[in-house]
């Protein structure tokens, strides 16, 4: 319950001050988080060691992960105030959106694959404002009030939130209606994923994106929204990946692994390109 009131207070403060000031405050709080949370600091350093292949990790890089997370939260708390057509025009560069148009032209919907990278929560609002019908799969929070707070932020822009506990049927419905379904595809919460090579380590990768694509024929398109040095954003789409299953139409583990292998490479490349924007505060390969 305590987290709910912290979120409400943080959201209130962030919305009554200018965005630049909200970022500055977020950075100061993030620096304190970095200094005093040994557990989170060690987790971030462990992940960066794998990504960068260096030991020790430069402290400035680890600290920047915390700062980027603080700014990510500031964006999330204030997006109902600032995110609009003018914000997109002046602060967001959208690249290769034609790939998304191509994917949707087939009438089977589109599985949008992303990661816990950059400002993924803003992507939903931006795409909705650009006219794309979007649903997202979200892991429910334990506290119903916190869950409602997060979902209300998303729903403000017309984004349909699908709880991960009811994802299969709802996602199939959304894709069959030629909508986009967004999934963060690098962290497995179900313990029912598939072991794949990810950033050079064996990793349990969720199979949902591949499964929905194979079941419906919906192509997969990567979308990433990363921050630039001036607190603007770049949204990048990747070329559609079209699914194919065996001749008998059955979906095998080999089909799933092949499709996951195709899209996980792009996630790896983006994380290596923007290591301090991968906002993962647990030791990803601890187990």
Per-domain boundaries in the chain: 85-277
pLDDT at residue 124 in the model: 95
Residues 244-262, mean pLDDT to the nearest whole number: 85
97-122 tens-digit pLDDT: 999 999 999 999 999 999 999 999 99
Residues 112-138, mean pLDDT to the nearest whole number: 97
Question: Residue 1: pLDDT above 50?
Answer: no
Question: Residue 247: pLDDT above 60?
Answer: no
Average pLDDT, the chain: 95
55-78 tens-digit pLDDT: 999 999 999 999 999 999 999 999
pLDDT at residue 287 in the model: 63
Band of residue 286 on the pLDDT scale cut at 50, 70, 90: confident
pLDDT at residue 7 in the model: 92
25-42 tens-digit pLDDT: 999 999 999 999 999 999
208-218 tens-digit pLDDT: 999 999 999 99
pLDDT at residue 248 in the model: 66
What are the beta bridge partners of residue 236? 95, 224
pTM of the full structure = 0.95
pLDDT at residue 249 in the model: 73
Task: Please report where in the chains the tokens 């506290």 appear, as a residue.
Answer: 143
Question: Residue 51: pLDDT above 90?
Answer: yes
User: CA of 88: how far to CAs of 85, 182, 206, in Å?
Assistant: 5, 20, 31
Band of residue 177 on the pLDDT scale cut at 50, 70, 90: very high
154-174 tens-digit pLDDT: 999 999 999 988 788 999 999
């Amino acid at each position: 319950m305590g987290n709910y009131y912290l979120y409400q207070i943080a959201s209130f403060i962030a919305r009554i001050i200018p965005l630049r000031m909200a970022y500055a405050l977020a950075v100061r709080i993030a620096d304190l988080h970095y200094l005093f949370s040994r557990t989170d600091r060690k987790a971030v350093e462990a992940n960066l060691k794998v990504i960068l292949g260096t030991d020790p990790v430069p402290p400035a890089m680890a600290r920047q992960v915390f700062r980027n997370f603080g700014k990510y939260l500031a964006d999330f708390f204030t997006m109902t105030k600032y995110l609009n057509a003018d914000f997109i025009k002046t602060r967001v560069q959208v690249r290769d959106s034609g790939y998304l148009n191509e994917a949707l032209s087939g009438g089977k919907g589109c599985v949008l694959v992303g990661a816990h990278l950059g400002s993924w929560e803003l992507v939903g609002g931006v795409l909705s404002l650009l006219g794309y019908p979007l649903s997202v799969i979200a892991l429910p929070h334990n506290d119903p009030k916190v869950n409602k707070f997060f979902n209300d932020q998303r729903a403000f822009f017309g984004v349909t939130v699908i709880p991960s506990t009811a994802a299969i049927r709802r996602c199939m419905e959304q894709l069959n209606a030629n909508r986009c379904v967004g999934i963060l595809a690098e962290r497995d919460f179900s313990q029912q994923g598939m072991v794949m090579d990810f950033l050079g380590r064996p990793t349990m990768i969720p199979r949902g994106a591949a499964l929905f694509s194979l079941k419906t024929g919906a192509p997969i398109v990567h979308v990433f929204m990363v921050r630039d040095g001036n607190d603007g954003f770049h949204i990048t789409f990747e070329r559609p990946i079209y699914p194919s299953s065996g001749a008998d139409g059955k979906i095998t583990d080999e089909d799933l692994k092949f499709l996951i292998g195709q899209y996980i490479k792009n996630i790896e490349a983006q994380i290596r390109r923007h290591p301090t924007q991968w906002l993962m505060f647990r030791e990803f390969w601890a187990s």
